[in-house]
Protein backbone atom coordinates (compact mmCIF):
# COMPACT_ATOMS: atom_id res chain seq x y z
CA UNK A 1 0.00 0.00 0.00
CA UNK A 2 1.37 3.40 -0.98
CA UNK A 3 0.47 6.22 1.37
CA UNK A 4 -0.06 9.80 0.37
CA UNK A 5 2.04 12.43 2.10
CA UNK A 6 -0.93 13.44 4.29
CA UNK A 7 -1.64 9.84 5.33
CA UNK A 8 2.02 9.31 6.15
CA UNK A 9 2.16 12.46 8.28
CA UNK A 10 -0.98 11.33 10.10
CA UNK A 11 0.78 8.10 11.11
CA UNK A 12 3.71 10.07 12.54
CA UNK A 13 1.73 12.42 14.80
CA UNK A 14 1.97 10.21 17.87
CA UNK A 15 5.32 10.58 19.57
CA UNK A 16 6.95 7.32 20.60
CA UNK A 17 8.30 7.35 24.13
CA UNK A 18 11.98 6.76 24.93
CA UNK A 19 10.84 3.82 27.08
CA UNK A 20 9.43 2.13 24.00
CA UNK A 21 12.76 2.51 22.20
CA UNK A 22 14.66 1.33 25.28
CA UNK A 23 12.46 -1.77 25.57
CA UNK A 24 13.11 -2.59 21.89
CA UNK A 25 16.88 -2.75 22.44
CA UNK A 26 18.84 -5.91 23.22
CA UNK A 27 20.91 -6.08 26.42
CA UNK A 28 24.07 -5.76 24.29
CA UNK A 29 22.74 -2.57 22.69
CA UNK A 30 21.85 -1.14 26.09
CA UNK A 31 25.39 -1.72 27.37
CA UNK A 32 26.92 -0.12 24.25
CA UNK A 33 24.53 2.83 24.50
CA UNK A 34 25.37 3.28 28.18
CA UNK A 35 29.06 3.65 27.22
CA UNK A 36 28.23 6.14 24.43
CA UNK A 37 26.15 8.28 26.79
CA UNK A 38 29.38 9.22 28.55
CA UNK A 39 30.44 10.93 25.30
CA UNK A 40 27.17 12.83 24.98
CA UNK A 41 25.26 10.53 22.63
CA UNK A 42 21.47 10.37 22.90
CA UNK A 43 19.06 7.72 21.63
CA UNK A 44 17.06 8.89 18.61
CA UNK A 45 15.11 5.75 17.69
CA UNK A 46 15.29 1.98 17.25
CA UNK A 47 14.50 0.52 13.84
CA UNK A 48 13.36 -3.10 13.58
CA UNK A 49 15.45 -4.70 10.82
CA UNK A 50 15.47 -8.28 9.50
CA UNK A 51 18.81 -8.82 11.24
CA UNK A 52 17.47 -7.47 14.57
CA UNK A 53 16.92 -4.07 16.16
CA UNK A 54 19.18 -1.22 15.05
CA UNK A 55 19.55 1.68 17.49
CA UNK A 56 20.34 5.10 16.02
CA UNK A 57 22.08 7.53 18.36
CA UNK A 58 23.47 11.03 17.89
CA UNK A 59 25.98 13.40 19.40
CA UNK A 60 25.17 16.85 18.02
CA UNK A 61 25.11 16.22 14.23
CA UNK A 62 27.21 13.03 14.41
CA UNK A 63 25.12 9.86 13.95
CA UNK A 64 26.07 6.38 15.10
CA UNK A 65 24.29 3.02 15.06
CA UNK A 66 24.34 0.08 17.43
CA UNK A 67 23.44 -3.31 15.94
CA UNK A 68 21.65 -6.05 17.87
CA UNK A 69 24.99 -7.51 19.00
CA UNK A 70 26.10 -4.20 20.53
CA UNK A 71 28.59 -3.31 17.78
CA UNK A 72 28.88 0.46 17.33
CA UNK A 73 29.27 2.04 13.88
CA UNK A 74 30.44 5.63 14.24
CA UNK A 75 30.20 6.31 10.49
CA UNK A 76 26.92 4.68 9.43
CA UNK A 77 25.31 5.17 6.04
CA UNK A 78 22.07 6.50 7.54
CA UNK A 79 19.92 9.22 6.05
CA UNK A 80 17.33 10.92 8.24
CA UNK A 81 14.20 12.55 6.91
CA UNK A 82 13.82 16.27 7.48
For residue 13, what pLDDT is reported? Answer: 58
- Sheet order of strands, 52-59 included: 42-49, 52-59, 62-66, 72-73
* pLDDT of 57 over the 70 cut: yes
Run of H or E including 44: strand 42-49
What confidence tier does 3 reach under pLDDT thresholds 50, 70, 90?
Answer: very low
- Does 32 score more than 70 pLDDT? yes
Tell me the domain boundaries of the chain.
16-73
Asked if pLDDT for residue 71 goes beyond 60, the answer is yes
State if pTM tops 0.75.
Answer: yes
Find out whether 20 and 8 touch, Cβ atoms under 8 Å.
no
Amino acid sequence: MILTHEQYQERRREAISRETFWDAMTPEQKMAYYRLQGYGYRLLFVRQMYSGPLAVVAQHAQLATINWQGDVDLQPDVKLRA
